[in-house]
Amino acid sequence: MTQSIKPRCIPLDLSSGDKTTELAHRIARILNPGDVVLLEGPIGAGKTHFARSLIQSLLIEPEDVPSPTFTLVQIYDLAQCELWHADLYRLSHVDEVEELGLIAAFDDAICLVEWPEKLGELRPETALTLRLSVDPCEENCRHAELEWTCDTWDGRLKGLQE
Ligand SMILES: Nc1ncnc2c1ncn2[C@@H]1O[C@H](COP(=O)(O)OP(=O)(O)OP(=O)(O)O)[C@@H](O)[C@H]1O
Ligand SMILES: [Mg+2]
């Protein structure tokens, strides 16, 4: 008999860009090599804003964090490992994910992936998903859900529950 894995979910309201930055900094502090964070949400939801804030808080020397919309991936050297920031929106075929080296990076880098829907079956089951949506009335307000199924996130995310 196959066991169903129940997803755990934390809903969060992010009333401004600064609140999203604050969340990114908190998540940054709990990440280890081999962790994958999948960033879901429509265009302009704040996926890059979140990723940029997270990366900037981990960089040893400050540097620009451009959106990887055209390069597909940007790689940063952190003290303990590489950090891969990927935007798969422009990916034309799922085979390109392997060619980019992203699947290998999932094992030992910290990976932040925008448009993870493009991964199809290559989506890592152990990942943490951040799902962002835009509030229809408040321009700078975003609604977020952090979702995961893998036990390794339970303790690490405990403090985020409001
Ligand atoms: N609460 C908020 N959280 C995140 N971003 C916000 C918030 N309020 C306003 N913004 C703004 O919304 C914009 C989000 O743009 P961003 O490039 O991060 O979106 P995206 O989800 O990466 O889009 P794309 O799918 O095109 O890559 C930024 O200009 C950011 O400053
Ligand atoms: Mg983006």
At 86 the pLDDT is 98
In a domain, residue 5? The reply is: no
At 161 the pLDDT is 74
For residue 41, give the ligand 1 atom closest to its CA.
Answer: 21
Give me ligand 1 centre to Cα 9, in Å: 22
2: pLDDT strictly greater than 70: no
At 4 the pLDDT is 62
Q: Give the three-class secondary structure for 71.
A: coil
Q: What is the mean pLDDT of residues 98-116?
A: 97
In a domain, residue 66? The reply is: yes
Q: For residue 8, report the phi and psi dihedrals to the nearest 5 degrees.
A: -100, 145
72: pLDDT strictly greater than 90: yes
Give the separation between CA 109 and CA 103, rounded to whole angstroms: 10
Give the separation between CA 137 and CA 83, rounded to whole angstroms: 35
Give the separation between CA 32 and CA 109, rounded to whole angstroms: 8
**pLDDT per position as a tens digit, 117-146:** 999 999 999 999 999 999 999 999 999 999
> What is the radius of gyration, based on Cα positions, of the chain?
15
> Containing domain of residue 95, as a range?
12-143
- Which amino acid residue places its CA nearest to atom 25 of ligand 1? 43
In a domain, residue 156? The reply is: no
For residue 20, give the ligand 1 atom closest to its CA.
Answer: 3
In a domain, residue 29? The reply is: yes
What average pLDDT is seen over the chain? 95
Q: Give the three-class secondary structure for 142.
A: strand
The pick from 39, 48, 90 for probing ligand 1's pocket by mutation, whose C-beta has the most ligand atoms within 8 angstroms, reads 48
For residue 52, give the ligand 1 atom closest to its CA.
Answer: 18
- Structure tokens that stand for 25 in this block: 């900094």
In a domain, residue 67? The reply is: yes
In a domain, residue 17? The reply is: yes
Question: Where residue 34 sits, what CATH number does that domain have?
Answer: 3.40.50.300
For residue 15, give the ligand 1 atom closest to its CA.
Answer: 1
Domain count, the chain: 1
Those residues whose C-beta lies under 8 Å from the C-beta of residue 155, and which sit 6 or more positions away, are none
- This prediction has a pTM of 0.96
Pocket of ligand 1 (CB under 6 A): 14, 16-17, 19-20, 41, 43-49, 67, 87, 114, 140-142
Q: Which helix (H) or strand (E) holds 55?
A: helix 47-58
- pLDDT range class, residue 38, cuts 50, 70, 90: very high
In a domain, residue 60? The reply is: yes
In a domain, residue 122? The reply is: yes
